[in-house]
Structure 1
Amino acid sequence: MVDTGSEKALYACVYRSHSGNQETTRLFDHLTEMADKAQQRYPTAQLVFLGDFNAHHEEWLFPYEKTCHAGREARKFAVSLNLTQLINVATRVPDVPGHTPNCLDLLLTTDPDRHSVSVSAPLGSSDHCLVKSVSIHSPPDLCPRGTRRVWRYESADWDEMRHFYASFPWQQVCFSSGDPSCSAEAVADVIRQGMEYFIPFSDLSLDQKAQAWYSSDCARAVALKQSAYQAWVLARDSKAGAQRVCARKKAFNSAAKSCKRVLRKARFDHVSRIGAKLASYPPGSKRFWSLSKAVESNFCRPTLPPLQKPDGTLAHSAAEKANLFASLFASNSRLDAGSKLPPTLPQCSSSMQGIAIRQNEVRRALQTLDVNKANGPDGIPARKTVCA
């Protein structure tokens, strides 16, 4: 739910797999039931259902060639809730010559006048177009602030995440209060914690600045890809000759592959520049560690998984884990000696001579210090020590 303070909008993301008719009917019945409950709780809220419906209907969806059971169920679902279908172009780009593009990605809403929808070329190697919907609920923020979290699911440790969720004390942590709202928030926090520990992520700034690796070559490649896609769509919708449509489709495929290569090379060159920059800095210098920490903070995660405390809860932060290890070490280091007395150490007859510290020796020691090293236990930087 999106609540702007004056209006509410309920979003539901749907994906219908290629299942049987019975499963499809059950899915739309479930969506109808959930929509009815949402409207009872929020009577004035806008409903939005979007996603890959995998539905065909010759009278309702593009390109009007056939009707399947999913298409009939989708249309019946939209009519029963007074939903308007806003996608009127093909959203799946066929990867087999001769196949017809279909409108599989739908956006159904109870307030169509508030939405502006556009369809662009697919991203990466996907065969589905990028569908963008802009819905204005309040005056737009011309200077967005904050960060946006990006997850790298391909690098996630799914096995450890399953173990984390399976061994988590859900009953003690999430369902001890008896308040459904508190339990829901606690469950959401635990799910978020599991994602943060086992799925690498990065928090990107929303100051509308381009990525450091995104060069003018990348912008030109993306523009060529988009123009080739629009040329293919125009030839297809104008019912031009099959040969012309096929040529435009090949041109789009070529532009998409070229764009992918350019973006990949730009990212690789950017990483190579960072590596060369790190190698040029003196090891241990302030600039070296500043850049190294900035690189490590991008898509990083703790190497030590959450630890279970004696009371059944989990230790997540580094301080909690360190204290847990310290208490475990302290408990294992206590030995029951009973009534035994500590051993008597022999007397030492020799004594150490007095220590003489000379100014020249101190100066020579200071001159050998590496000013690029970090602070020592005394907290005094080596650079200030040498200057003094």
Structure 2
Amino acid sequence: MRSPNLTVLSANVRGLRTNIGDLTHNFILSHRTDIAVVTETWLTSEVESTFGKIPGYTHWIREDRHRRQGGGVAICLKEGLQAHRLDIETPPLTEAVFLRVVMANGTGLLLCAMYRSPRQGPDPINFLTEHLDDLLTRHRCRHVLIVGDLNHHMEGAAYENLLMVQGLTDYVTFPTHERGGTLDPAITDLGEDTVTCHQLGQVGSSDHHAILIKTEVGVAREEAVSRTIWLWDRADWSSLRKDLQRTDWGAILTGCADEKARAFTERLKSLQRQHVPHRQYTSRPTDQPWFGNRCRLVAERKYSAWRRYKRNPTLRNKTIHREACRNMTATSMWAQRRWENDLRSKLCGPGVGSKTWWSLIKERQGTSHQETIPPLTRLDGTTATSSKEKADLLADIFATKMTVADPNRPPPQLAQECDQEITMVEVTQGKVEHLLRAVDVRKASGPDDVSPQVLRHCSIRV
């Protein structure tokens, strides 16, 4: 399983459009990077904001160079990682992106990705020296990590002053340039026993080596969500309807209208669980749209085989692990083909509208701008990171806006605008059956979790 610790990739790519393929497959995906930081992107405002979207990652958070070519900084995050960009005013011509990464204990890690061109001068480094303490306090961050290409060998005095004043350590002790220079640091206040840096290869045509930074610091991630998959085509509708007829409704439907409604709903849900086959499916934020239950089962078998081989590296366990890897590859390819065929059928179907068509196209091309809600700060200073915590916090805020100072006050008397009044509503069995048979079974369940499938099939008399 994935470690909760944070893994950061830092690379000077000397042109993101040129080297995006090598960066994606041979560095970000192969090393399962949590945060990818690239400098010298050479991107401009003419390059669309959705460029280079990597499956399982957010869109690139960019700081392009203005009014001239070259430079630029960009960051992308693994989906589910709780982080958001900070709006920090920096000196003119400074190319930097600041993020607040939420840690597992609720505190923050200030991530600074910066590119300082060789002839820029010490202003960007001096800015960090003078304002880092204030930034950490203002954004409630306990630790800091500074990565990128600082070309600090040309501003040695300013660089050493930054490390000394702020009590930081550069853990990159190996060359990061093909000529032997160390230009791309990993500066942090984390302890030596919690940070390791590794030199990787050069990204595409770049003359810089990429750096992989592993920190033994837990970070907050979006939690996996479990949901029930109902196999409606295998449901025993006849037995379900018979059980409904045998139900002693007089004994169940007692009390006020709300109590009767709850009892009726619970009876329907109980019979649904009894007569409709179902299974639990756990989805994670990093799952691809084609990654379904079958892929999950095969992936778990592969992981179990890998753990068995690590504990006891025999030839037999090695063979079992290789077979599990082959099954994982075959299942993934099957799932992708199935998803693509389903997508093709939806796009070619007669019922697809223009809105749905464009939504599917953008999703397939990776140009959709839909992003997850960033971490939210409560009034007491704590951070809401999971989907449930964010939803509860937003619900509480909206609920407070809808409160009435005097809820027992009678409603105002409004002038009658028509000549007719509704004095009675007629409800008959035939009308209810007609409405139930017209229920769209493709719709999702409502707040009561009663499926439209049950409502429609149970309206048919035995």
Identify the TM-score tier after normalising by the shorter chain.
0.3 to 0.5
Q: Would you tell me which structure has more strand in proportion to its own residues?
A: 2
TM-score (norm 1): 0.34
Which structure: larger Rg? 1
TM-score (norm 2): 0.29
Q: Would you tell me which structure has more helix in proportion to its own residues?
A: 1
